[in-house]
Amino acid sequence: MAKVFKQGDIITADDAKGVYFSSFEGKYIIMDNLDNQGTPHIDAREEIYNSEYVFVTVVVKGTLRIIAGGTELLIKENGYLAIMPCMSIEVKDSDCMYFSFLTKGYLMTDIYEHTKIGDKVSVRAFVYRHHKLTPEITEMLLHNYLHVKREHKRPDYQMKELVLRALQTGYVSHLFSYIDPRSYVSNTKNTRQHIFFTMFLEKLGENHRKERSVQFYANILNITPKYLSTISQTFTGLSASQIIDQYVIYAIKQTLYANHANIKTISSQYNFPSQSFFGRYFKRITGMSPNEYIKNHNRKSLSFENNNQEE
């Protein structure tokens, strides 16, 4: 069973043993094995279920073997892999040199807006993308990554987060200038269970604002709720109900971060029967109220502005 990262959990050095690892408050994480000589070996790592982070990995040499959402991928030299939140990830024994940039999903909202791809990718989950880069692009991304790494190594200072956000925006913008971020790899297999699972994820992406019932999605697929949860457990270690909650909360976090509407409006947008019901649902999964979340993770609060969000 996958190690489940609950809402609010962060990936730590223990989850990336044997590599350089740096985290800024669990919001921006980088890791690499660039300091190793030759073609480094990577030991297999425990499968995790990632509910929070956007993974962007570039392989400099060798081959990275990874399982994303139940599909085994081989990311070879000059290969790029992006894994969005709400997917299981397992690293197999590999011989490669790589660098990775991990970002909390809601913080990608600004980058999506700055690169003018907006709603087309602003709520993406259960998907991954891999692409072959040219050696020149790999070198350019590595140069940018090493700049971010130097900043991570500096002692904390008052504006460090804003600097890291700017550097990350530059890194991803460079990447998006060569790769269409909307062109994700379809997460499919030729097994009956995986076809059902993929259809479930697609329907969840289309209906998560109005439907949170396992029965609803089972009816669409013409299967029983029990079978849908069995399938979900097979590929993620989570029940269908947990997957639904993970995705809904992931989407709501991005909405709360952007702060385009007050909480009452957001609860209505996501089809909750009342604002108080929405608040209880959010706190049950995240451990904090929507207002507490806004206070600490809203665009205004992260820009050191006063946040006067309406209750």
Q: To 10 degrees, the CA torsion angle through 150, 154, 160, 165? A: 20
pLDDT at residue 49, as a whole number = 76
Same domain, 139 and 35: yes
Instruction: Identify the domain containing residue 113 by its residue range.
Output: 3-178
Do 199 and 73 sit in the same domain of this protein? no
242: amino acid identity, one letter: Q
Domain boundary among 153, 178, 203: 178
How many domains in the chain? 2
**224 and 151 together in one domain:** no
pTM for the model stands at: 0.77
Is 168 domain-assigned?
Answer: yes
Cα(12)–Cα(5) distance, integer angstroms: 11
* Count of residues in the chain: 311
pLDDT the model gives residue 262: 82
Are both 61 and 131 inside the same structural domain?
yes
Note the pLDDT of residue 39.
72
Residue 126 and residue 225 in one domain: no
Please give the chain's pLDDT, 311 residues, in tens.
556 555 556 777 777 777 899 999 888 999 999 988 777 888 888 888 787 888 999 999 999 999 887 788 899 999 999 888 877 888 999 999 999 999 888 788 777 776 666 555 555 677 788 888 899 999 999 999 999 999 999 999 989 988 998 898 888 888 877 776 555 554 445 688 888 988 898 899 889 999 999 999 999 999 999 999 999 888 777 899 998 998 899 889 888 887 766 888 899 999 999 999 999 999 998 888 998 888 877 776 655 444 344 33
Cα gap 24→297, rounded to integer Å: 14
- One domain for residues 205 and 287: yes
Which residues does residue 96 pair with via DSSP β-bridges, in sequence order? 62
Q: What CATH number should be reported for the domain holding residue 287?
A: 1.10.10.60
Query: Is the domain of 144 the same as that of 209?
Result: no
Q: Are residues 208 and 168 in the same domain?
A: no
Q: Can you say whether the dihedral through the CA atoms of 83, 84, 87, 88 is positive or negative?
A: positive
